[in-house]
Amino acid sequence: MSVLIRNARVIDGTGAPAEACLDVRVDGDEITAVGAGLDAGGASVVDADGLALMPGIVDTHTHYDAQITWDADLTPSPALGVTTAVIGNCGFTIAPCREADRDLVMRNLTQVEGMSIEVLRGGIRWDFETVPEYLDMIAAGRTRINVAAFVGHSAVRTYVMKDAAVERAANDDEIAEMRRIVADAMAAGAIGFSTSTAPQHNGDGGVPMPSRLADDRELAALVGAMAESGRGVFMLTKGNRTDVPYLEELAAAAGRPVMIAALLHNSTNPTGTFDELEQIAAARARGRELWGQVSCCPLTMDFTIASAYPFESLKAWAPAMKTGRDALPGLLADSAFRDAVKAELAEPAGVRLFNGEWEKLEIVEVARAANAAVEGRTIAELAAEAGAQPLDWMLDFAIGEGLETVFTAVLLNSDVDAVGRMIRDPNASVALSDAGAHLTFFCDAGFGLHLMGHWSRDLGVLPLEAAVRELTAKPAEIFRIPGRGRVAPGYKADLLLFDPDTVGRGPKRRVFDLPGGAPRLTTDAVGVEGVWVNGRQIADAGEALDGAPMPGRLLRYFNP
């Protein structure tokens, strides 16, 4: 099957200047020629009409591990221009998993994925136990876009340690067993090893995600097991304990790239991320390949007080995660609980999501029609009017609405100058869509379109060619993905045709299409005219094509 895309403005992914009036020929799954006035010879012709053609977006921070088992489309990423998704970030994978531990693994995921246990129970297809079996299942099934998968620390730990995975450090035998699993996963084609030490990563009932219980010895052993394969990226979402100098030691011992998430700008600690980027720069100058993973989206979350993710990294909030729904209003009304939360918010910020910026927290949707007047207003204003302390006002209001009020908080990454600086930092990689996770809290699956539209075109923070490189060739190089991320002969035909004058992501909206009709947030593509994966068109003018092919592949061979 051959396609000739005629008269495109080609942005090839390397950062080189765009070239107008070029034709791109695709034979089978590969780009075979790029040039002016190519012969159509037997190919079907698509007239690009001067629009821009770039490599498909490589989204290196997603969480489709569960969803991919019931939704081979990986909705909504393909329509948003993503042609390769790396799953299994932060250590949150569903493989390996024994039948007896499935509920344990699912309960751990509910909190961090923003999906209910019913969605996961109803949705996940458990046709595997080990990581190699999970990879084979994806490879044998058909997916809309290409997928690469991390072996995830929390699942590995649960597999070896069962309930003790969330209680204690591992002993020598357990570490040896975990090392074997990581090594087998790498041999079977995992893209690397992922973990999290971040305090906001909690499972059901507020128990920490298993990886948070690992000590330095365990982490070094598992990163070492990955490195012995001669391949792999070590990715982690970082908490306070694993600072950059410590990660540099790990990188030095392993000789592998380390992707450090999530560097988000915090207005209450404005130099924090820049200090870390400087430490990363210094480590890179010493020959360690460290990268800071940054986001080009403000971290905005919708939430209810019954599932208040922005507050869940506070130690003082832990009792609320352990308390059942019926007893929760009583706890939230308790002054000792409130005093503890207020005291912790008054401490200087370490790694946490909400930092007491009440002017950035507002009411989106009330539960009682009589309260409609407060929709769209901030907690800072409403509390000031009532002469109340903001936390007290918010909790009292939520209790009065049966904890069903929907709030939204602009938590981090909202300072335009600071985020612009982070995006341009040569030690940073723009990613962090978290697509497939936090589904009721936010949707940044369209981050690539946002980088090109908002940051490049509207704000002029970086040239379009640089934005395209950031989304394509650069992540492909960092993650050692061969043959993708460029528009050039010999590369796989993963392509995105778009209008630079309009490209962007639409407003967020709620849809109810998860298993059992559960809700998730999504956004639509703007200015996308076509998406191809391995030479086959999968989306048209911003929409996934009905009945389109499933040309995605499991990527399991990586450069050293």
Q: How many C-beta neighbours within 10 Å does residue 37 have?
A: 9
Least Å distance, CB 113 to Zn ion, is 10
Alpha-carbon gap, residue 39 to 331, rounded angstroms:
72
Cβ nearer to Zn ion, comparing 90 with 227: 90
By beta carbon distance, the residue nearest Zn ion is: 90
User: Which structure tokens are listed for 123?
Assistant: 């949705």
Q: Counting every residue, how long is the chain?
A: 560
Least Å distance, CB 198 to Zn ion, is 9
Cβ nearer to Zn ion, comparing 237 with 378: 237
User: Which structure tokens are listed for 241?
Assistant: 């304990």
Per DSSP bridges, beta strands 19-27 and 2-10 are antiparallel
Cβ nearer to Zn ion, comparing 60 with 405: 60
Cβ nearer to Zn ion, comparing 91 with 500: 91
Least Å distance, CB 87 to Zn ion, is 10
Least Å distance, CB 342 to Zn ion, is 29
CB-count burial class (<10 Å; 0-12, 13-18, 19+) for 173 = exposed
> Which residues, listed in sequence order, are joined to residue 194 by a DSSP beta bridge?
152, 235
535, 3 Cβ separation under 8 angstroms: yes
- Displacement of CA 205 from its chain's centroid (Å): 23
Measuring CA to CA, how many Å separate 403 from each of 304, 321, 377, 493?
7, 14, 18, 49
Residues found near Zn ion in the complex (CB under 5 A): 89-90, 434
Cβ nearer to Zn ion, comparing 86 with 503: 86
Least Å distance, CB 450 to Zn ion, is 18
310, 301 Cβ separation under 8 angstroms: yes
130, 94 Cβ separation under 8 angstroms: no
Least Å distance, CB 154 to Zn ion, is 11
- List of long-range contacts for 326-331, beta carbons under 8 Å, 24+ apart: 328/403, 329/399, 329/403
User: Which structure tokens are listed for 14?
Assistant: 């390397």
Cβ nearer to Zn ion, comparing 204 with 434: 434
Cβ nearer to Zn ion, comparing 213 with 236: 236
What secondary structure, in 3-state letters, does 124-193 show? Answer: CCCCCCCHHHHHHHHHHCCECCEEEEEEEHHHHHHHHHHHHHHCCCCCHHHHHHHHHHHHHHHHHCCCEE
273, 295 Cβ separation under 8 angstroms: no
Least Å distance, CB 258 to Zn ion, is 16
Cβ nearer to Zn ion, comparing 54 with 437: 437
Least Å distance, CB 365 to Zn ion, is 26
Alpha-carbon gap, residue 414 to 382, rounded angstroms:
22
Least Å distance, CB 437 to Zn ion, is 6
248, 281 Cβ separation under 8 angstroms: no
Cβ nearer to Zn ion, comparing 235 with 528: 235
Residues 6 or more apart in contact with residue 173 via CB below 8 angstroms: none
Cβ nearer to Zn ion, comparing 290 with 431: 431
495, 54 Cβ separation under 8 angstroms: yes
Least Å distance, CB 85 to Zn ion, is 12
